[in-house]
C-alpha cells in the first residue's frame, strides 16, 4: 500500500484510539514521517507499537485522564501540532434504534465517540495557539449522513456530532491558524469489524456493494488523515473528506 508522503519532522501529535486499527496506523505513519506522537487508548499497548511512540493507556471518558495525557504530550515536545480523534466504539447488538436502545448504552457511546473528542480538542486548542496553529482530524463515518434499516443510532448520532463540532472549531479558530477537518470512512477492515472475520460471506457482500470492489484499509484512512494534517492541505478546513470507495456516490 502506497503511503502518503509528507515531512512531519519537528512536529508533535496526539492520537486517540491508537491501540489498533486506524488510530494505530495513523500514529505509525506520522512517526514514520518524522513526527513525535502520543498514542492514547483504553486498551493495552499493542505488540507492534512503533519505535519511539509514547503510549498512554487511559480512559477517554475521564477528563482527568485526558488532561494529564495531553499535558504530558505537550511537555514532552514543548508544542502540540496535531490532534487525531480516531477513537470510537460500535456496540453491535446493543446499539440500536433510539426507540428501544438502553440509554446507558447511548450515554456510553456518546461519551467515547463525541465527548471524548471534545475533551481532547478543548485541551489541544490552547496548546496549538501557543505555537501559531495546528491541525485536527476527526474520524467520523459515512453512516452518519444516511439512514440505516439496521440502525446503530448512538454511533451514527455521535459521529454526526463530530462533523458539527469540527466545523465549529474550524470557524472559531481559523484566525489562530488552527484547521479542523473530518474524514468519513466507508467500510473498513479494522478490529471493530470482527464480524467480517467470523463470517467471510458478510465481507464479500460488503465488497460487492463498493464501486471500487474492495473494503477500505487502515492505510487508506491514514493516507487521507496525513494529507489533511499536512501543509499540502493548508487551505482546507471545516470540511469532510469521504473515503469510501464510491459508496456515497451511488444512485
Catalytic positions are 155
Choose among 212, 213, 114: nearest CA to 161: 114
Asked if 242 contacts 216 with a C-beta cutoff of 8 angstroms, the reply is no
Helix (H, G, I), strand (E, B) or coil at 226: helix
Cell digits for 250?
451511488
Choose among 12, 127, 13, 9: nearest CA to 71: 127
Over the range 52-76, which residues count as b (16 or more CB within 10 Å of their CB) and which as e? ebbbbeeebeeeebbeebbeebbee
Assign residue 76 a region (left: φ > 0; alpha: ψ between -120 and 50; beta: otherwise).
alpha
Alpha-carbon distance values, 64 to 59, 112, 123 (Å): 9, 14, 11
Rounded CA-CA distance 133/240 in Å is 20
Four-residue CA torsion sign, 101, 62, 50, 1? positive
Q: Please give the angle made by the CA atoms of 225, 226 and 228, to the nearest 5 degrees.
A: 65
179, 106, 119, 117 alpha-carbon torsion, rounded to 10°: -30
Choose among 92, 69, 61, 57: nearest CA to 191: 92
Amino acid at each position: 500500500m502506497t503511503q502518503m508522503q509528507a515531512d512531519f519532522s519537528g512536529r508533535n501529535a496526539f492520537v486517540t484510539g491508537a491501540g489498533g486499527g486506524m488510530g494505530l496506523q495513523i500514529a505509525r505513519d506520522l512517526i514514520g514521517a518524522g513526527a513525535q506522537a502520543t498514542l492514547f487508548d483504553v486498551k493495552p499497548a499493542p505488540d507492534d507499537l512503533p519505535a519511539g511512540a509514547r503510549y498512554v493507556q487511559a480512559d477517554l471518558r475521564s477528563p482527568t485522564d485526558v488532561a494529564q495525557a495531553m499535558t504530558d504530550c505537550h511537555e514532552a515536545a514543548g508544542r502540540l501540532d496535531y490532534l487525531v480523534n480516531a477513537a470510537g466504539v460500535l456496540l453491535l447488538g446493543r446499539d440500536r434504534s433510539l426507540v428501544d436502545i438502553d440509554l446507558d448504552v447511548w450515554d456510553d457511546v456518546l461519551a467515547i465517540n463525541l465527548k471524548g473528542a471534545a475533551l481532547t480538542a478543548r485541551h489541544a486548542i490552547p496548546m496549538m495557539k501557543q505555537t501559531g496553529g495546528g491541525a485536527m482530524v476527526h474520524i467520523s463515518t459515512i453512516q452518519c449522513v444516511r439512514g440505516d434499516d439496521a440502525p446503530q443510532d448512538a454511533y451514527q448520532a455521535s459521529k454526526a456530532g463530530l462533523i458539527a463540532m469540527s466545523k465549529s472549531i474550524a470557524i472559531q479558530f481559523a484566525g489562530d491558524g488552527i484547521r479542523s477537518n473530518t474524514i468519513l470512512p466507508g467500510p473498513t477492515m479494522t478490529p471493530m469489524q470482527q464480524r467480517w472475520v467470523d463470517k467471510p460471506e458478510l465481507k464479500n457482500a460488503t465488497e460487492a456493494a463498493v464501486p471500487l470492489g474492495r473494503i477500505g484499509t487502515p492505510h487508506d484512512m491514514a493516507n487521507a488523515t496525513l494529507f489533511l494534517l499536512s501543509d499540502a492541505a493548508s487551505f482546507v478546513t471545516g470540511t469532510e473528506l469521504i473515503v469510501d470507495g464510491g459508496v456515497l456516490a451511488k444512485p
